[in-house]
Amino acid sequence: MLFAELPPTPPPAIVQSVGYDTRIRLNSIGFLPEAQKQATVAAPCKEFTVVRMSDQAVVFSGQASTPFKTAVSDTDETVQFVDFSAVKAPGRYKVQIAGVGLSAPFDIGPCVWNLPFEVASRAMYLWRCGTAVEGTWNGITYRQKACHLEDGWMDYAGGGHTKHPTTGGWHDAGDYNKYVVNAAMSIGLMLKAWEQFPDHVASDSLGIPESGNHVPDLLDEVRWEVEWLFTMQGDDGRVYHKVSSLNFRYWGPPDKDDGPRYLTPWSTTATADFVGTMAETARAWKAFDTNFSAKCLDAAKKSWSFLQAHPEQVDADMTAFHTGAYNTKDRSLRLWAAAELWETTGDAATLHDFEKGAQEFSCTFSKGGRGWGDMTDLAFATYLTSSHPNERNADIVAQLTKSLLTRANEIVAVSQNNGYRRPLGVERSTWYWGCNGTVASQTLLLHLADKLQPDPAYRATAQCALDYLFGRNFHSRSYVTGLGALPPLHPHDRRGEPAWPGYLVGGGWPDGRSWKDDRARYDLNEIAINWNAALIYATAAFAEPQPAKQ
């Protein structure tokens, strides 16, 4: 969301007991047995030990590294590193450092990433609009009644004061509006998790209403959003840009938000993103529901035809709205639409459109993982992992592969050259609104590179991204509500407190010290579906494969 109104004064704060020395900064979720295991220590130290919590036994002793000075644009401090990768036995541990103290507890085991994946995925369910939701976490039950059942009105979309039913979907972020462009990025990342790690995300028991229906819950959750997207398509294939209130002023439970919500006019950005989303969903669902898959593909083809008849960019007129715009150039979104539609249909003309577009983008991957405004990385990922490999242009494949490996190697090098192994880097330009989401989405490039040219450094750096998000950072705190040590208690979320679980907050900027757990700071502490989708992808890669129910 953008330009949010400030929230009302929150209720008295919930006090967390720290219980560990915050100068010892590590991933408080844990580590796979064979993974690299490190902590950053913001205090002078020499010797350290690893203590098993079940019996207080010392299972490892080691020496801290020499001091390392972090950049002024990062955290501007002197730190040291401790490495305990030799500890591989499953269990719960703490790091103890002489003269400093004990770290937060962490686990070692093959399934340490399963729970974060499940909680982040279930958080998408808790974002559902137009239906009652309920879930329990850490002894607290979170629930809301069905909301926004009057969505939406056509006053600003050329239809007069008439209703165009658009119930369902997910609330976008800390606000309750619904945006096609951000939905596309979110679904694209979630389906990349399904395509690349199907065994890891096959669980049908995440605790959503569809659990137990013999379809992976991740796909069920995607379908909930896709069913809403159908309502955003016009009869001729155009796609309305968003459903929104006129401003961000309402705070409180979503079912009490009884103000009118309106569709905006259509845009080529929404239409292109709709095509890519529907085409990719059609592939994912074909093995589970052929009728739904066909419906998705038919919708994608209709909007693709409309898009081809409108080659010029058309932006929605949103002058009456003071909510998230999600405006961007449509070229990369058209590229993604072509990639997904070709991959699903094998259509030669669509492949030609993609390959022409790829060359216009110089066949270049991003430096750090793109956001909703640029879908080229997702488009290129689909092309490089295509099920039609022999139909591709060999030169374009070679250029994209070279670019991908170059970017992945740059990310590895950047991670190794900063005090918290943050793969996005330490320069001032890498700290911005929502940068935590980019840290998570960078892992797409790393895992894709590892698929094409396996290198342990790629997986290790993807692990470093999760280490950072779950506590190996200046604040020595998890940046995900309800998970890890000292998670955010006051996210910018209109549902209020206690904080709903499983949401990645945007993160600090303009440097690594600047995050605040403050409900009013939407620029630092908001939540958003695209950031959570990136977290789902990042954790799915390391989750222990789960068998699908028969």
User: Out of 467, 492, 493, 511, which one is annotated catalytic?
Assistant: 492
Determine whether 148 is an active site residue. Answer: no
Determine whether 395 is an active site residue. Answer: no
Tokens for 118? 């499940």
Q: How far apart are alpha carbons 48 and 23 in whole angstroms? A: 14
> Which of 350, 376, 356 is closest to 365 using CA atoms?
376
Amino acid letter, residue 340: E
User: Out of 74, 118, 175, 220, which one is annotated catalytic?
Assistant: 175
Q: Which residues contact 334 (CB under 8 A, 6 or more apart)?
A: 268, 272, 307, 353, 357
Partnered with residue 263 across adjacent β-strands are 243
Count CB-CB contacts under 10 A for residue 67. 12
User: Out of 340, 377, 511, 517, which one is annotated catalytic?
Assistant: 517
Q: How far apart are alpha carbons 186 and 231 in whole angstroms? A: 18
Tokens for 488? 């955010």
> Could you write out the DSSP letters of every residue in 321-376?
--S------SHHHHHHHHHHHHHHH--HHHHHHHHHHHHHTTT---SS---TT--H
Determine whether 255 is an active site residue. Answer: no
Q: Compute the CA torsion angle 177, 180, 181, 182 (nearest 10 deg).
A: 50
> Which of 228, 250, 240, 239 is closest to 322 using CA atoms?
250
Q: Compute the CA torsion angle 102, 436, 126, 259 (nearest 10 deg).
A: 130
535 close to 487: Cβ distance less than 8 angstroms = no
Q: How far apart are alpha carbons 332 and 305 in whole angstroms? A: 17
DSSP 3-state of 30: strand
DSSP H helices in 420-511:
435-452, 456-469
Q: Tokens 């137009």 — which residue?
A: 130
Q: How far apart are alpha carbons 445 and 414 in whole angstroms? A: 14
User: Out of 374, 377, 493, 526, which one is annotated catalytic?
Assistant: 526
Q: How far apart are alpha carbons 35 and 50 in whole angstroms? A: 16
Q: How far apart are alpha carbons 84 and 33 in whole angstroms? A: 11
CA distances from 486 to 101, 102, 469, 490 (A): 17, 15, 12, 11
Determine whether 492 is an active site residue. Answer: yes
- As annotated, the active-site residues are 175, 492, 517, 526
